[in-house]
Amino acid sequence: MRILLIEDDTKIGEFVSRGLREAGHVCDMLSDGQDGLFHAIRETYDVYVIDRMLPGLDGLSIVRSMRAAGVKTPALFLSAIAGIDDRVEGLEAGADDYLVKPFAFSELLARVNALARRPPAISEKTLLQVADLTMDVMKRRVTRAGVEIELQPREFTLLEVLARNEGRVVTRTMLLERVWDFHFDPKTSVVETHISRLRGKIDKPFDVPLLHTIRNTGYSLHAPR
């Protein structure tokens, strides 16, 4: 694999990059956030490993900018910030995994390999239609009744999961796994909060609601029946 490591701690950076190369991967290392974002968008990599606290541009901003630019390459945060809210914030920004410092290199390598094994989404439909709502996944564009709707990266992913399951119930657990990559219950209202924000953008300005709450079960995106 070709891996981009953005880490300003020289000792950690050299340790990780050496380990990745010994494991047979190609690893480019940068220490500045601005340079890291430039390479992340302009170059092709299989996985990004990004420190949260960086000079020039912090890791959260890098990942948000990557996702806004349509870069779907898996990203793993390395961080000494270990709180649950901090991890949630990192994943909500668009990261696929979060590893707290200090860490075992064997665990980092296993997580990087797991991210790289994820099947690519390029074989999926890139133009989704639910009633008068249209999603262009490649262009990251959403319109309803011809009106363009601005969504944050996580809101876009949430809507995409619902649209790909048009008419079917998507449970809270499924959303935690597919949108936030949580395989546990974080005990927060992150799903409900994002559903409320999404509903405010795709439903409230229009006459007919498309996003429906299925009580005690989950959510469904579909035209009125």
**Consecutive sets of 10 residues in the chain, 225 residues long: mean pLDDT of each?**
93 93 92 91 90 92 89 90 85 90 91 81 72 92 96 94 91 88 81 96 95 92 88
The predicted pLDDT at position 122 comes to: 44
Alpha helices in 69-152 (DSSP H): 84-92, 105-117
In terms of residues, how long is the chain?
225
25: which 2 tokens? 């991967």
Determine the Cα–Cα distance for residues 56 and 77; give it in Å rounded to an integer: 17
Residue 33 C-beta-side C-alpha neighbours within 13 Å? 16
What pLDDT was estimated at residue 120? 54
pLDDT value, residue 216: 85
CA-nearest of 18, 10, 166, 197 to 92 is: 197
DSSP 121: S
pLDDT value of position 3: 94
If you ran DSSP here, which 8-state letter would residue 119 be given? P
Q: Which of these, 90, 88, 117, lies nearest to 176 by C-alpha position?
A: 88
70, two tokens: 């349509």
Report if pTM > 0.85.
no
